[in-house]
Homo-oligomer: A and B are copies of this chain.
Amino acid sequence: MEYSIGEVAKILDINPSTLRYYDKEGLLPLVNRTPSGIRTFNQDDLSLLRLVQCLKSSGLSIKDIKQFVDWTLMGDDTIEERRDMFRRQKAQMEAQMAQMERTYNAILYKCWFYETAYDEGTTDFDPAKTPDEVAMLKRNSGLHHEKQSN
C-alpha cells in the first residue's frame, strides 16, 4: 500500500509542509517518487515517521534524528553509536520525568492553595490550619510566594 503526502499528513496528523521539511532535512531518505516527481510513501516510511515523532517527543532535535537516520543507513557498523544515543536519551528522559514530578507537585499545591482561597474568598487565609498532607507538600514545594507578596 502506498500513500500520497496528503494521505500521510492525515494519517499522522502532520502538515504536508512538515513532511517536505523532514524530507529536505534528510529524515526520510528512502521515500520514492513517481516518474513525475511526486512522493509516494510506503509502510516503512510511515514506520520511520512514527519513530521520528517518538524521538521528537522524547526531546531529540531534528539534527539528532538526522544523525540517527544517517547511522541507520550506514548499517551494522554504527550499532554502538545508536545504542549509546538511546542510552543517553533514556537517562535524559528519566531526568526530565523526575523534574516533571517535582513541578507537578508544586502545581498540585497551587491547585490546593487556590481551591482553598476560593472557598475562603481570599488568598490571605492561614496556611497552618490545613490538612497535614498538603501542609507537608507545601513545606517541600519551595513555593511560599503567597505569604509574602499578597
Contacts and interface: CB of A to CB of B under 8 A. Distances in A.
Interface of A: 30, 43-44, 47-48, 50-51, 54, 57-58, 72, 75-76, 79-80, 82-83, 86-87, 89-90, 93-94, 96-97, 99-100, 103-104, 106-108, 110-111, 114-115, 117-118, 121-124, 142-145, 148-150
A103 B94 CA distance: 11
Nearest to A147: B47
Number of copies: 2
B104 A93 contact: yes
A106 B104 CA distance: 23
A81 B83 CA distance: 47
Q: Which of A47, A48, A107 has the most CB of B within 10 A?
A: A107
